[in-house]
Amino acid sequence: MKMTFRWYGEGDTIPLAYIRQIPGMSGVVTAVYDVPVGAVWPIERILRLKSLCDKNGLAMEVIESVPVHEDIKLGKPARDGYIEAYRQNILNLAQVGVRCICYNFMPVFDWLRTDLRQENADGSTALSYVHETLTKLDPKALRLPGWDESYTQKELAGLLDEYGGVSREKLFQNLVYFLEAVMPVLDKTGIDMAIHPDDPPWDMFGLPRIITGGDSYDRLFAAVKNPHNGLTFCTGSLGAGRFNDLPTLAKRYASRIYFAHIRQLRLSGERDFTESGHLTAAGSLDIYGVVKALVENGFDGYVRPDHGRNIWGEDGKPGYGLYDRALGAAYLNGLFEAIEKRGV
């Protein structure tokens, strides 16, 4: 296992000099953030990130994300040009030692929450989701402070209309088309692609979501058998679906999990949840069971603590402050060490 930390590049308020001080931190997970989706990342920008990581003794082996252009997800004629750019990005990233690329195939929106600063009894704040509140929002006017906003209001409205004709089946076929097209470049470079599950794992505003649990994975691996077609196992995204048994999934897919995002949720209603500290005891997900299943089934990939709470007065980017994620990393390091050494 290699413990990593998400770092939002030079715009991040958390310096690499702090990240390197977290015990057991091997590297960061980052991306070039200010290039439009679908474009080739200038090589000098990649090299700049790499040299900053080198200077701080941190590896840069995982990219999260190289985003997939909507035309690829929609299956529009322009997709081939965007796929070519994606292939070029893979080739360029391979040159600086990248081993794994995290991406998602969610239409229009990435992760969705209804509150980014829900206050907990202990005074910390965390992201939360109430399904009924979400269904009342107007997707065309969606604006959440601090949330990953990829589109202007106008683009958003146009895109939502375009998805009107795209079924889950069509979206899945478009994913397969994309993956088939990038596999040769992955074979050549040895890079693994790791798809992030949909967060939360159900359709949103009538938009199809297709990476939601075990059935999706079986289908995905049956369609694209190449081992470079792999997973980002995100406990929080999958775990929001009560239908997902995380230790069982971790066990079943361990050999295809190249990257694990580990975080905790407190489930409330059928589809409602609040994010919490990483400990198993802090929420509804069996974090210990997941780590145990990963270790016992030969997982040897990258791990990162995922969304933390805002604690100790920190006013961090929602989900991405320093303190609680550092605590999460320390806890996860302890779990991995204990489980790994048990067999020694």
Residue numbers at the binding site for ligand DNO (CB under 6 A): 64-65, 102-104, 110-111, 148, 196, 261, 307, 319
Told to judge if 307 belongs to the known catalytic residues of this protein, a careful annotator would answer yes
Among residues 200, 286, 188, the alpha carbon closest in space to that of 228 is found at: 188
Q: Which of 69, 228, 261, 278 is catalytic?
A: 261
d(CA 244, CA 49): 36
Q: Which of 53, 100, 102, 234 is catalytic?
A: 234
Told to judge if 199 belongs to the known catalytic residues of this protein, a careful annotator would answer no
Which of 165, 302 has the CB closer to ligand DNO? 302
d(CA 208, CA 107): 7
Q: Which of 71, 198, 286, 306 is catalytic?
A: 306
Say if residues 333 and 23 touch (Cβ distance below 8 Å). yes
CB of residue 3 to ligand DNO, shortest distance in Å: 16
Told to judge if 131 belongs to the known catalytic residues of this protein, a careful annotator would answer no
CB of residue 340 to ligand DNO, shortest distance in Å: 25
CB of residue 307 to ligand DNO, shortest distance in Å: 6
CB of residue 64 to ligand DNO, shortest distance in Å: 5
Helices (H), 163-319: 168-189, 214-223, 235-239, 246-253, 287-296
The DSSP secondary structure of 108-174, one letter per residue, reads S--S--SEEEEEPTTS-EEEEE-HHHHHHS-GGG---TTS---S-HHHHHHHHHHGGG--HHHHHHH
Which of 6, 343 has the CB closer to ligand DNO? 6
Residues 6+ apart with CB under 8 A from 272: 128, 129, 130, 131
3-state secondary structure of 264: strand
CB of residue 304 to ligand DNO, shortest distance in Å: 9
Q: Which two tokens stand for residue 182?
A: 């990038």
243 Cα distance to chain centroid: 20
Q: Which of 82, 253, 320, 331 is catalytic?
A: 320
Q: 341: buried, middle or exposed (CB in 10 Å: 19+, 13-18, 0-12)?
A: exposed
Which of 104, 276 has the CB closer to ligand DNO? 104
Which of 275, 286 has the CB closer to ligand DNO? 275
Told to judge if 306 belongs to the known catalytic residues of this protein, a careful annotator would answer yes
Told to judge if 234 belongs to the known catalytic residues of this protein, a careful annotator would answer yes
Which of 87, 209 has the CB closer to ligand DNO? 209
Q: In this structure, is the dihedral angle defined by the CA atoms of residues 124, 127, 130 and 133, taken in order, positive or negative?
A: positive
Q: Which of 163, 307, 324, 331 is catalytic?
A: 307
Told to judge if 102 belongs to the known catalytic residues of this protein, a careful annotator would answer no
For helices 79-95 and 168-189, the axis angle rounded to 10 degrees is 30
Which of 65, 226 has the CB closer to ligand DNO? 65
d(CA 99, CA 201): 27
For helices 214-223 and 168-189, the axis angle rounded to 10 degrees is 60
Residues classed as catalytic: 196, 234, 261, 306-307, 320
